[in-house]
Structure 1
Amino acid sequence: MPLILFAAGCGSDDGATGAASGGSSGVKVTGNVGAKPTVTFPSGSPATKSSYEVIQPGTGTQVKSGDKVIVNLTVYDWDGKTNAAQGSSYDNKAPETIAVNAQLPQVLQEGFTKVKHGGRLLAVLANDSVAPQQQTSPAEPTKVFVFDVVGTQPPALKAATGKETGQSIKGVKVDNPGGEKAPTLTTKTGEKPPGDLVVKTVIEGTGAKVQPSQTLTVHYTGKIWGTDKKFDSSWERGEPAEFPLGQVIQGWQQGLAGVPVGSRVVMSIPPKLGYGDQAQQNIPAGSTLVFVVDVLAAY
């Protein structure tokens, strides 16, 4: 599980503001940026107020709101007793990407914009950073994060980019107009729909392969097998969709994991990996779904 999910559910709450640099939490961080930090806690009860402190400002590019920052992070539970480490991306050698946006607790939104690439940020997330409707009982322990900013995720592509493969699914047609124009998907066919998931690469991208735990930015069009009835299209809305891959239908989870960023794929998803016997707004029960998907970014 990504370590930053420890901060998820903290939600954004304007009442939780960052302390000035040199924050008042009393937590000390030593060691060099680029290696796992040593964290020392003050005696007594944990902080009840969220705060951040710039440990090292960094010398690279300034982090801005809206950036997707790549970080190494180390997490502690500050309970005033064992103050146990909960994990570090330095141990599993898997830096994480965090979108600096309104989904983050206020202290992180503010703190990240005070550091540059190569910088180190300490953040204390107490229960004042949890929106009242999300507060659980009993309260979560105060979390302490040390973030080392490695870089920034490049902005999402506008459309798939790469080499056309000539692959397709029998009975389904994808026309690629090129550039940033939407592909055309045709699913009117007398062919019997496949009983299992079928994924074909139409354009092969050259980016990193999608991991199941990532959040994706995609453009897509969805139609019903056999009828050519379109039920959804991000292209028509004029804005790509962004979602954690783990929160969409099974067909997408299985079909997009391992696909290189920049690719265009066409997927035929049987009912058992789609919506099954449940009718959706524009989708009859038991439908085989066909999607053409451009994978524009993954983080």
Structure 2
Amino acid sequence: MAMHSTSSSIVTVLTRAAAAVCTAAMCISLAACDGDDAKTSAGSQKLPQLTGVTAKGTPGKKPEISFKTPLSVENNATAILQEGDGETLKNGDRLCMQLTQYSLKTGEEVATTWDTNVPDCSLVFNESDEPGSTESATLAQIANSTLKGKKINTTFGVGINDGSGDNQNYLLVATPVSQSKDLEKAEGKKVKDVPADLPKVTTAADGKPSIDMNGYKGSDKLVAQTLIEGNGPEITDDTYAAVVKYTGWLLDGKQFDSSWDRNDTFTATLNGGVIQGWTEGLRGKKVGSQVLLVVPPDLGYGDKEQGEIPANSTLVFVVDILAKY
């Protein structure tokens, strides 16, 4: 993607959760990020059955998990531990999951999202995205496969046994507690007082933007002008990622990238996964908003050429914010 930070790394995913432990939220987020550009499996592989683990309690509340220790599991073994009582999951639902990680050796709880009530919302349910093999299965594929035909508040477990250390061998217990649909385009109130000297943006019926640079010469400071004001939740310093559609242009009007042309969304990780102009420019904006970003070189790619983007380029983006987590 053209707006990626040149220093982006999968390590940036780890900034979401508490340091020094591989928490459940980190692991499921890693699976979701790895799957962002992944293709659906050509064929499905039945996962091994997780045994010896039980759950009890009220659906939708933190379950009481029991198993004898040390617990021996096959890698990626899974099982439904408690049936849900909510709405049936549908393709395209963004699922917010409460997650808990347990040590297989001691049975102790290592980390949980229940205590802070900040579920991980990185998974978009896709029942056709099944594991091609047991060993190569991502946590996103395991969740999609295990939750097929299930309801909100279903609790399932996954045994992870892919390393020699205790941190690599654990039980992940997950419960989808809510479902929502990402927007398909910006939705909200059109902003009327947009400065007249900025590029002029026109939006087609399907949401795709086009631009007239309007003689604009750029700015040495970041411009983050809301064009459509959404009414969804705000992107804050604690936001891990924003799901967007976008188009990017150079000041001469040449388009260098567009998710609209790929009929796709982009998940922008906001702590090192995108250029600084995106991180700063999207902060404070709401889901549903359309934002015009003018990114000076020092907040973009600086003196480095990036594909079709020359060195020292000012970049112009129109970004529709469809979801956040």
Identify whether the pair has TM-score above 0.5, normalized to the shorter chain.
yes
Pairing of 1:51-90 with structure 2 (within 5 A):
51-64=77-90, 66-78=92-104, 80=105, 82-90=106-114
Contact 1:63 1:116 in 2 (8 A): yes
Contact 2:202 2:211 in 1 (8 A): no
Q: 2:324 matched to which residue of 1?
A: 298
Q: 2:230 matched to which residue of 1?
A: 205
Q: 1:18 matched to which residue of 2?
A: 47
Task: Give the whole-Å Cα distance in 2 for the aligned partners of 1:113 and 1:9.
Answer: 21
Q: 1:252 matched to which residue of 2?
A: 278
Task: Give the whole-Å Cα distance in 2 for the aligned partners of 1:83 and 1:179.
Answer: 54
Question: Is 2:138 aligned against 1:109?
Answer: no
Scaled by the length of structure 2, what TM-score is found?
0.75
Q: 1:6 matched to which residue of 2?
A: 27
Partner SS, residue 92 of structure 1: coil
Q: 2:115 aligns with which of 87, 91, 110?
A: 91
Q: 2:156 aligns with which of 121, 134, 149?
A: 121
Q: 2:309 aligns with which of 278, 283, 289?
A: 283
Q: Call closer, same or farther: CA 1:115–1:37 in 2, change over 3 Å.
A: same
Q: Call closer, same or farther: CA 1:283–1:75 in 2, change over 3 Å.
A: same
CA RMSD of aligned residues (A): 2.9
State the 1:94 CA deviation: 0.7
Task: Give the whole-Å Cα distance in 2 for the aligned partners of 1:15 and 1:119.
Answer: 22
Task: Give the whole-Å Cα distance in 2 for the aligned partners of 1:142 and 1:52.
Answer: 14
Q: CA offsets, 1:22-65, max 9 Å, x none?
A: x32x1333333333333333133532433222122113222245
Partner SS, residue 319 of structure 2: strand
Q: 2:213 matched to which residue of 1?
A: 187
Task: Give the whole-Å Cα distance in 2 for the aligned partners of 1:15 and 1:162.
Answer: 41
Q: 2:184 aligns with which of 158, 177, 182?
A: 158
Scaled by the length of structure 1, what TM-score is found?
0.81
Contact 1:18 1:106 in 2 (8 A): no
Specify every segment of 5 or more residues in structure 1 that has no aligned partner in the other structure, as ranges.
128-135
Question: Is 2:58 aligned against 1:32?
Answer: yes
Partner SS, residue 287 of structure 2: coil
Q: 2:7 matched to which residue of 1?
A: none
State the 1:291 CA deviation: 0.7
Q: Percent same amino acid among aligned pairs?
A: 30
Specify every segment of 5 or more residues in structure 2 that has no aligned partner in the other structure, as ranges.
1-15, 18-23, 36-40, 130-137
Contact 1:187 1:224 in 2 (8 A): no
State the 1:284 CA deviation: 0.9
State the 1:66 CA deviation: 4.6
Contact 1:270 1:289 in 2 (8 A): yes
Q: Call closer, same or farther: CA 1:199–1:121 in 2, change over 3 Å.
A: same
- Larger radius of gyration between Structure 1 and Structure 2: 1
State the 1:243 CA deviation: 4.0
**Which amino acid letter does the alignment assign opposite residue 61 of structure 1?**
E
Q: 1:131 matched to which residue of 2?
A: none
Contact 1:46 1:142 in 2 (8 A): no
Q: 2:13 matched to which residue of 1?
A: none
**Which amino acid letter does the alignment assign opposite residue 281 of structure 1?**
G
Task: Give the whole-Å Cα distance in 1 for the aligned partners of 2:146 and 2:91.
Answer: 10
Q: CA offsets, 1:215-265, max 9 Å, x none?
A: 43322221123x222211223334333443441111112211331111011
Partner SS, residue 233 of structure 2: coil
Figure out how many residues of one structure are paired with residues of the other and give that number. Answer: 283
